């Protein structure tokens, strides 16, 4: 019998709160870009949009634990960022807990969306982005699409997290899209894609064993590593092109800080391909740090510009 305190703590672990910080940064980035372009930020709309994003993230976490729990419990290479939360299993929380939590989050999102739909104060393009966000968050793990096992899950997740979340925040404040928004999100999408590949590498053999046909399993770990490197190089090139096209100086200078870490991650991935002993925790931490640092640097840059 699990004590109440233990159960609460396991549920916190199940929710993976450290990943929620990225949602706050990326949503804040969208609003910061709107403010930089001269729009007044509506605090009520901001809180509303952030709530939708956060509950969407939580729903994705819980669905992942529900559908991947049996495989993740057999993963000997689990890190804080890959292989599940470790809160599901014998003597821990049940899969039903994760399923119920996901349903509750989806219901809350439905209630919040319905309330604003009745008021009619959300722009049409924001609703379209919200539907894309909901689609990516739900079907990433859930059947019948289960994108995580289709080979397209990584790209879908990168587009959702790195692109749609800040775009949703921006459109809630402005009602339209803007070229600076695309200049800001293109490198983040690429870095998020690279990060997801690093998260999947420690799980490669477990995923293959349990029939989880994600991108790594479908194309092989060596090809996936090359895609990882290309994604990082694309992000660097995107920042350079954005600067040439009129990106704010403070944001561009901040982005330059990311370049050495990005090149170091490519070097580390090259060592893995060459057969050196993998350090999974370091690899996943740097992958997360690279994406998070880029997002927070952009956020601060736009706030100070």
DSSP character at residue 37 = T
Domain of residue 255: give its range: 4-304
Per-residue pLDDT at 44 exceeds 90: yes
Give the model's pLDDT for residue 292. Answer: 95
Q: What are 82's strand-pairing partners?
A: 79
Alpha carbon separation from 63 to 78, 162, 185, 294 (Å, rounded): 18, 20, 26, 27
Sign for the CA dihedral angle at 304, 26, 218, 71 comes to: positive
Distance CA 154, CA 200 (A): 10
Tell me the average pLDDT across 62-77: 79
Q: Would you say residue 303 has pLDDT above 70? A: yes
pTM metric for this prediction: 0.93
Tokens of 170: 């921006």
CA distance 6 to 8: 5
| Higher pLDDT among residues 71 and 251, named by residue | 251
Give residue 270's pLDDT: 92
Q: Is the pLDDT score of 84 beyond 90?
A: no
Q: How confident is the model at residue 27 (pLDDT cuts 50, 70, 90)?
A: very high
% of the chain surpassing 90 pLDDT: 78
Residue 79 and residue 202 in contact, taking contact as beta carbons nearer than 8 Å:
yes
Instruction: Provide the pLDDT for residue 75.
Output: 66
Residue 162: predicted pLDDT: 97
What pLDDT does 81 receive?
67
Q: Sorting pLDDT into bands at 50, 70 and 90, what band is 209? A: confident
Q: Would you say residue 83 has pLDDT above 80?
A: no
In percent, how much of the chain has pLDDT > 70? 96
β-partners of residue 93 are 88
Q: Is the pLDDT of residue 152 over 90?
A: yes
Question: What digits encode the pLDDT tens for the residues 224-282?
Answer: 999 999 999 999 999 999 999 999 999 999 999 999 999 999 999 999 888 888 888 88
Domain count, the chain: 1
- Burial per residue of 139-163, b for 16 or more beta-carbon CB atoms within 10 angstroms, e otherwise: bbbbeebbbbbbeebbbbbbbbbbb
The whole-chain average pLDDT of the chain stands at 92
CA distance 46 to 39: 13
**Tens digit of pLDDT for each residue in 89-145?**
888 899 999 999 999 999 999 999 999 999 999 999 999 999 999 999 999 999 999
Query: Which residues, 6+ apart, have CB-to-CB distance to 261 below 8 Å?
Result: 286, 289, 290, 293
Residue 19 has pLDDT above 70, yes or no: yes
Which pLDDT score is estimated for 4?
Answer: 86
């Amino acid at each position: 019998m699990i004590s109440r305190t233990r159960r609460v703590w396991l549920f916190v672990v199940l929710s993976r709160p450290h990943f929620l910080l990225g949602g706050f940064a990326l949503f804040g980035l969208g609003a910061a870009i709107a403010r930089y372009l001269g729009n007044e930020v509506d605090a009520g709309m901001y809180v509303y949009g952030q709530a939708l994003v956060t509950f969407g993230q939580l729903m994705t976490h819980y669905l992942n634990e529900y559908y991947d729990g049996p495989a993740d419990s057999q993963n000997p290479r689990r890190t804080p960022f890959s292989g599940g939360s470790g809160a599901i299993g014998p003597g821990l929380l049940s899969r039903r807990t994760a399923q119920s939590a996901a349903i509750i989050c989806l219901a809350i999102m439905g209630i919040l969306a319905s309330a604003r739909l009745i008021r009619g104060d959300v722009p049409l393009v924001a609703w379209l982005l919200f539907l894309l966000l909901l689609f990516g968050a739900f079907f990433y793990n859930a059947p019948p699409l289960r994108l995580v096992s289709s080979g397209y899950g990584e790209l879908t997740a990168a587009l959702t997290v790195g692109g749609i979340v800040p775009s949703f925040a921006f459109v809630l404040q402005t009602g339209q899209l803007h070229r600076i928004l695309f200049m800001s999100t293109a490198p983040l999408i690429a870095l998020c894609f690279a990060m997801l590949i690093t998260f999947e590498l420690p799980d490669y053999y477990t995923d293959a064993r349990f029939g989880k046909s994600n991108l790594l399993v479908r194309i092989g770990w060596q090809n996936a590593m090359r895609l990882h490197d290309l994604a990082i190089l694309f992000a660097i090139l995107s920042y350079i092109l954005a600067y040439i096209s009129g990106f704010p100086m403070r944001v561009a200078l901040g982005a330059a800080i990311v370049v050495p870490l990005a090149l170091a991650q490519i070097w580390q991935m090259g060592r893995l391909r060459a057969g050196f002993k993998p350090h999974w925790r370091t690899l996943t931490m740097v992958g997360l740090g690279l994406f998070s640092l880029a997002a927070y640097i952009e956020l601060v840059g736009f706030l100070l510009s």
